[in-house]
Amino acid sequence: MSEEIEKQVAELEKQLKKLQKNQAKDQISIIAFSGDLDKMLAAMIIATGARAMDTEVKMFFTFWATAMLRDKKKCGTGKDFMSKMFGFMLPKGSTQLKLSKLNMCGMGTEMLKGLMKKKRVSSLEELLKIAGELGVEINVCEMSMDLMGFKREEMIDYPNLKYVGVGSYLADANESRIQLFI
């Protein structure tokens, strides 16, 4: 009888270890897909808020959101015609993003930025700086960068910036309690 109980206890311990190994971390994974100012503000506010609450944050920038990470003072070299066209047509950095709604030829964007300043709400540039100081990890999709024609040398200087594939995001999301798509 005691041998049977020992087997059951051993099996329960094995199952418990497996459950503990697969338990989600206190981590949030955010896919930043949009290139719109309001959506990127929301993503960065959530990211910095979560980090301030001691939650690990991993952001995955893909497609249109990658334009936000371009440094307006840097240029990529060796680009083909299509890459140059994308570079010309897409925003170069966070200061050039526009609102998703009510942009009104840029007037809405400037109105929102003015209101944010008046109400002492951090700008997107300030939120990026805060995110870096708090340890928010930003992962940039290499495939999206390649499609958009962006080069590593034209991206912002950010302390926790990595260039990854979708597999890295999926691994992070699998470990996270929360996943968001913005």
Cα–Cα distance between 58 and 139 in angstroms, integer?
A: 7
Residue % of the chain over a pLDDT of 90: 74
Determine contact, residues 21/168, Cβ cutoff 8 Å.
Answer: no
What's the pTM value of the predicted model, to 2 decimals? Answer: 0.86
pLDDT above 90 for 170: yes
Cα–Cα distance between 50 and 106 in angstroms, integer?
A: 31
pLDDT above 70 for 75: yes
pLDDT of residue 1: 65
Angle at CA of residue 106, ends 101 and 111, nearest 5°? 80
Crossing angle for the helix pair 37-52 and 124-134, to the nearest 10 degrees: 30
What's the whole-number average pLDDT of the chain? 93
List, for residues 100-121, the tens digit of each pLDDT value: 988 888 899 999 999 999 999 9
pLDDT above 90 for 150: yes
More confident residue, 7 or 153: 153
For the chain, list the domains and their CATH numbers: 25-181 (3.40.1260.10)
pLDDT above 70 for 155: yes
Cα–Cα distance between 52 and 82 in angstroms, integer?
A: 41
In a 13 Å sphere around the CA of 161, the CA atoms on its Cβ side amount to 17
pLDDT of residue 102: 86
pLDDT above 80 for 19: no
Report residue 56: phi and psi, to 5°.
-70, 140
